[in-house]
Amino acid sequence: MLALTRPVSPSIGDCVLTFAEQQPIDVGRAALQHRAYEACLVELGVRLVPVPAEPDLPDAVFVEDTAVVLDEVAIAAAPPLPTRRREVASVAQVLSHYRPIRALAGGALLEGGDVLRIGRVLYVGLSGRTNREGTRQLAALAAPHGYEVRPVAVEGCLHLKTACTYVGRNTVLANRSWVDPGQLEGVEVVEVAPGEAGAGNALLMRDTVVMSASFPETSARLRSRGFRVGMVDVSELEKAEAGVTCCSILFEGGGERT
């Protein structure tokens, strides 16, 4: 398993916020938390693949939004914000060593944080960052490889995976205020604990669910159901409207392409 990661930009305090309130971000602390996050992935058996730093792009550490990586191909994302579009090329360049790269065209908008994969189904959040044309083009690119794309309505949060993520064992962790998990067919649902709205964002890494230390009650709900949970402190990154999935792109390696 490989994980693309990128360092925290010194300009992260200038990040664009949609639903969160602006707060001062301690860049040094954010960088330490990010390195601890990377160390957590390594402890769980992941090999890190670094992406070049982008000091002038505030959101660049949140690499998840720049691409959708499937087993057979990688699709470069099409963020609506100009600064975020500038993040895509350097990530695609690194991914090109592992997957053929495909791109969206025209009026398509798509960010990786809106794409939730469960088996061969890609659930795509229709959010302020991803539109129906982006969903349609993703479906056209993924269908030849055996994937089905299903749009999902999202309300009140940045991305689908802000509200809902897959935690293994045919189970999703979800905030029902932001997404109706009934749109994800045939899965069990664990609801986030009261007062922990952002806890629906969790990162499944092999047999461990990685969660933010900000959500102890929701993590306890998972543990009570037999899930193994690992906690990381990403409190400074959360001020930038981020979660634990945002800081990496995980995929199976199998060696670089020649």
Summarize pLDDT for 13-40 with one digit per residue, the tens.
999 999 999 999 999 999 999 999 999 9
Please tell me the total count of domains within the chain. 1
Q: In whole angstroms, give the CA distance from residue 80 to residue 57.
A: 14
Q: In whole angstroms, give the CA distance from residue 226 to residue 207.
A: 11
Q: Does the residue 256 lie in any domain?
A: no
- pLDDT band for position 5 (50/70/90)? very high
Catalytic member of 15, 40, 157, 246: 246
Q: What is the pLDDT of residue 253?
A: 84
Contact 4, 62 (CB under 8 A): no
Catalytic member of 15, 159, 164, 247: 159
Q: What CATH number did the domain enclosing 178 receive? A: 3.75.10.10
Q: Does the residue 170 lie in any domain?
A: yes
Q: Does the residue 191 lie in any domain?
A: yes
Active site residue 157: no
Q: pLDDT (tens digit, 9 = 90+) per residue, 227-249?
A: 999 999 999 999 999 999 999 99
Range of the domain at 16: 2-251
Q: In whole angstroms, give the CA distance from residue 196 to residue 65.
A: 23
Q: Does the residue 258 lie in any domain?
A: no
pLDDT of residue 217 exceeding 60, the answer is yes
Contact 116, 122 (CB under 8 A): yes
The runs of H, that is alpha helices, within 103-183 are: 132-142, 160-163
Q: Does the residue 68 lie in any domain?
A: yes
